[in-house]
Structure 1
Amino acid sequence: MARIKPQALLQQSKKKKGPARMSLTTIILFSLIVVLIVFFLFSTYRHWTHRSRLQSGNGLFISEGENEFGDPKKSDVPGYAVLNTSKGHIAVELYKESSPEVVDEFIDLCQKGHFNGMPFNHVIKHTLIQAGKNQEFGASEDWTSRGKHYSQLDSSLKHEAFMLGTSKGKRDNKGFELFITTAPIPNLNEKVIVFGRVIKGEDVVQEIEEVDTDENYEPKSSIGIINVSLRQKI
């Protein structure tokens, strides 16, 4: 039998033990698997992030510009609103049954962004705070005397503190102002249509009430509503 030379055996051993090259099909398949894994992880992250935001939305506040409601005809009329002010959030319950027309107008203006950036232009301690773009306020002395007279009375009167209202009379979109009382005012209906009440954020209302004002009850520093969000539940 012919002997195989050692050099030939070494070459054959190298050929057998050498690593096999990956085919182009294997590389493409591996790449697709990696892409699918990355996509799955990204989708999972987005899902849990979105769910976390929805769960946090079940609390009191909604982030700026967020609104749960599109067309009001396709959903129930919101029963609450959250005023995001430069001092904090004020949650109000809307009186849909007793003041339906005013509430509908208020909701429509909220969806149009009417109250975004609206300043608190009049603040009377122990009486009310007013947000609006109209500088006319009427007889400030009348409001002041009412506040002094009723500030010490029991809060079970017809119109207690922290009521939400707007001025009476014909209003256009620019004339819809907001009043929040800071003391009981029994004859409030003479000047204001009450269409809601503050249920959370009374401390924010009181903080706004304490700002420094000039002789015309206008705040010396800028303070106002950033935006308003509508809610069905609080």
Structure 2
Amino acid sequence: MARIKPQTLLQQSKKKKGPSRISLTTIVTCSLIIALFVFFLHSTYRHWSHRSNLQPENVYSGSETENAVFDAKKTDLPGYAVFSTSKGSIVVELYKESAPEVVDEFIDLCQKNHFNEMLFQHVVKHYSIQVGNNQDLGVAEDWILGGKHHSQPDASLKHDAFLVGTPRGKSKNKGFEIFITTAPIPDLSEKLIIFGRVIQGEHVVQEIEEVDTDEHFRPKSTIKINNIALRMKI
């Protein structure tokens, strides 16, 4: 057997260990991966830069934050009150936006069952029906005693019937009185804070209006509110 020379073995070893060729496919794939990585970094940078530029515009002042909280509070409040009376049910839509403080007080009293078993104290035809603990005529007194009470209401008057309100400047010791108008009333806004309107049960209001009363406009038969249920929707 012929003996291989050392130089020949060295040349064969170099040929075996020499680097293999890199294919075109491998080069293209690597290039695409690098390009995608660079594009990802660029997109991320642009995204966070854009957010940083918008950040000052999203900072609200104290008044804007308070308004947002107040609007959310109004949305969460019940929008309707169902009066269950001895004559039937009366559904009232609450004016949460135009009379928020009065509506808040009314809702709070309803949740405490303040109006349960409360009597209709006064019934004045072509004027209003009144619920409350106050024995005085209150806002109705100047209307009646002053000779302004009309048997036929003026249809041109601004304020309609079936509005729900409570007296302006009411005394705390008289509690929360509720008036439901049964006719258009002049200067109503000077007497009452309107916080709602009857949207169902107008016939019940009219039936209460027609009950017999004494000389002080107190119903001769007992008419009362059984309870008031609050509702988000009707």
Q: What letter is aligned with 1:196?
A: G
8 Å CA contact retained: 1:83, 1:225: yes
Partner Cα distance (2:121, 2:230) in 1: 23
Amino acid at match of 1:153: D
Who is 2:80 aligned against?
Answer: 80
- Aligned ranges for residues 198-213 of structure 1 at < 5 Å? 198-213=198-213
Secondary structure of the structure 1 residue equivalent to 2:205: helix
Aligned residue pairs total 161
Flag the 1:95–1:146 CA change in 2: closer, same or farther, 3 A. Answer: farther
Using the alignment, how far apart are the partners of 1:118 and 1:216 within structure 2? 18
Q: Which amino acid aligns with 2:187?
A: N
Q: TM-score, normalised by structure 1?
A: 0.63
Q: Which residue of 2 aligns with 1:98?
A: 98
What is aligned with 2:150?
148
Taking structure 1 as reference, are residues 140 and 188 closer, same or farther at Cα in structure 2, changes over 3 Å only? Answer: closer
77 and 140 in structure 1: CA distance in 2 versus 1, 3 angstrom threshold: closer
Displaced runs of 4+ in structure 1, greater than 6 A? none
Give, in angstroms, the shift of residue 186 of structure 1: 3.0
TM-superposed deviation, 1:190: 1.8
Identify unmatched segments of 5+ residues in structure 2. Answer: 1-71
The answer to whether the Cα contact below 8 Å between 2:93 and 2:198 also exists between their aligned partners in 1 is yes
Answer whether contact 1:160 1:186 (CA < 8 A) is retained.
no
1:11 is matched with which residue?
none
Quote the residue 1:117 is aligned against. Answer: 117
Helix, strand or coil at the partner of 1:233: coil
**1:147 Cα shift?**
4.1
Distance in 2 of aligned mates of 1:139 and 1:91 = 23
Higher helix proportion (structure 1 or 2): 2
Shift of the 173–112 alpha-carbon distance from structure 1 to 2, 3 Å rule, reads farther
- Cα deviation code 1:125-161 (max 9, x no counterpart): 1110000111011375533344417x4322x743100
Q: Give the conservation status (yes or no) of the 8 Å contact 1:147–1:185.
A: no
Find the aligned partners of 2:186 and 2:117 in 1 and give their Cα distance: 31
* Corresponding residue number in structure 2 for 1:172: 172
Percent of aligned pairs sharing the same letter: 66
The secondary structure found in structure 2 opposite 1:148 is coil
Indicate how the Cα distance of structure 1 residues 221 and 180 shifts in structure 2: closer, same or farther if over 3 A, else same. Answer: same
- Pair 1:192-2:187 in alignment: no
- The 1:118/1:94 distance shift into structure 2, 3 A limit, reads same
Question: Hey, what does 1:221 align to over in structure 2?
Answer: 221
For residues 21-60 of structure 1, what are the structure 2 equivalents within 5 Å? none
Which ranges in structure 1 are unaligned for 5 or more consecutive residues?
1-71
Give distance in 2, aligned partners of 1:139 and 1:104.
Answer: 22
Q: Distance in 1 between matches of 2:231 and 2:173?
A: 22
* Counterpart contact for 1:212–1:219, Cα < 8 Å: yes
User: TM-score normalised to the size of structure 2?
Assistant: 0.63
Residue 25 of structure 2: aligned partner:
none
**DSSP-derived class of the 2:223 partner:** coil
After TM superposition, give the deviation of residue 115 of structure 1 in Å: 0.5
- Describe the superposition over 1:188-232 as per-residue Cα deviations: whole angstroms up to 9, x where unpaired: 122211111100000000000001000000001111100000011
Larger Rg: 2
User: Could you report, residue by residue, the CA deviation over 1:66-93 in whole angstroms, capped at 9, with x for unpaired residues?
Assistant: xxxxxx97x8101110000000000001
Query: What secondary structure sits across from 1:119 in the alignment?
Result: strand
Quick one: structure 1 residues 111 and 96, their matched pair in 2 at CA, closer, same or farther if it must change by over 3 Å?
same
